[in-house]
Structure 1
């Protein structure tokens, strides 16, 4: 006779996927335990309060979606502000607006009309005569021409991926959004903002009344943890779950350098990209601008892309053919599990924006509970 387990669900990982699943399961009368190896809940959206500023500890997180249901869902836990992402790019002490729009083209060529801008870009593309792009560099050049590529894409992309653009596959850049309007709003999505009071307000509201244990490594006492629940919701690395039997999946990682400065406004914008290959970081985040802060000090974060090793945080899956083939082997095993649910960026080996993770978790809930 099978003994009754303490919990209905053991949720491994206290990020957005795990938090949404726990909330929804609790709403349906299920008992959940969340464990996380970090010293805090919230996963990569976790904010640390420094000098009264909500510092995004794992890089800038800007919520954006076209899905009204998901927007209303997150706003039912915490109100979102009206922050609009309008990054600025620096290249050799010149400033450019992103995404590429009429302001950018005026800064590059002093053109004022969409017609002039289109003609300029097309003339550069025509001179290159690239028929079938063999790599990312040729793909980008064939889409936007020389000036935009050299100043706004090349260095940033090479830093991001840690290799020359000529060695990167063309498919990474399928399209480059070019706008022939004077619009600096980075996202096309209808809904956009930051939780008032920071992302911890969202994850704390999602997990209210749910038991959470921190500083717990699932893999150190795996059998003991698994024995406590009927079903495991696993949001960690899927290859680690299966003891790397088909090989290790690869990622790009990031290193964040946080600084508190004795000034009330360091760069005048939340996000400033640094596009030169010679500048080692890709961007500088000034966190107070996400919430229109007026604190006397400021906190900035420099973001350094780096090669990933097992000791570092995995951020961006490298979805090339080799890695996707390895992942497919793991997914085939995962699909056969009846008592394990896999979800989130690491378990699905997929780059997700926040609204997509929430959508994925809500879909999984619907599938599991059939309601």
Structure 2
């Protein structure tokens, strides 16, 4: 069977065109690779979930060392009765800043770094859904803690009212560094909310084909629930510290009994955040334990029952926020619910 010479020419032309496009694509990819940021620019401008996860983990480690140094000062002061190494006001400042650093600077960024590393890999996503937001949510976090640590060097000292910042200690009797403290807490909250939104969008929109919600690993489920809890409670904390700021600097009386306010109301508002925060820190730990357990027993875990358990825990944590506060005007039903769901 004879072949038309023109068809051979056309086939050869098509093949050459395909090869040319492939070569140009390879050149573009190589050129893009050659011009990728390197050195410090790689870490500052990176949108890779692995790079950002690594940054979170290193930041958590640095904050752990910083908070640990403050803990050493606290324990040295309490080493022996009558021994006074630092002034009482400085001791209170160490207690306050140490608590904030360990909760918001060490524990939460460590779990966020693990989430950045593991969640996209576990659900088959190429990256986080909002990579630029992911980058921004990390880089505002060091800025927040620089402000918090800088408040220690202000005239009058840093915040000295404890990491729970109860009123009136954080309003009437607080130093001028309270404004920096409130600004720092706001930035921490913004970072947490941005990270939580990113996790939720990634899990709902970036799963691989066939990866249904019930097929997701438990670590992903724990972080999905944690992200919703963060979005629910962080604005409450922001509102509480904003009212503290306005009481101190703008003449309001939210927590000033002399002006008709209620100091105990701050406890109600704060522990609406504080008790879910306990579960925000422990749910990712449950996810890690589930992964390690599956690895050790070499057997996959059915997701339905543990998923239901995690949902029950998340529901209970929102109703347990009243068991430490004085529920003076609460109905018996609410009081009973808060006591029953309180941690043992």
Higher strand fraction (1 or 2): 1
Higher helix fraction (1 or 2): 2
Larger RCO, structures 1/2 (Cα 8 Å, 6+ apart): 1
- Report if TM-score (shorter chain) is over 0.5: no
| Structure of higher CA gyration radius | 2
TM-score, scaled to structure 1: 0.25
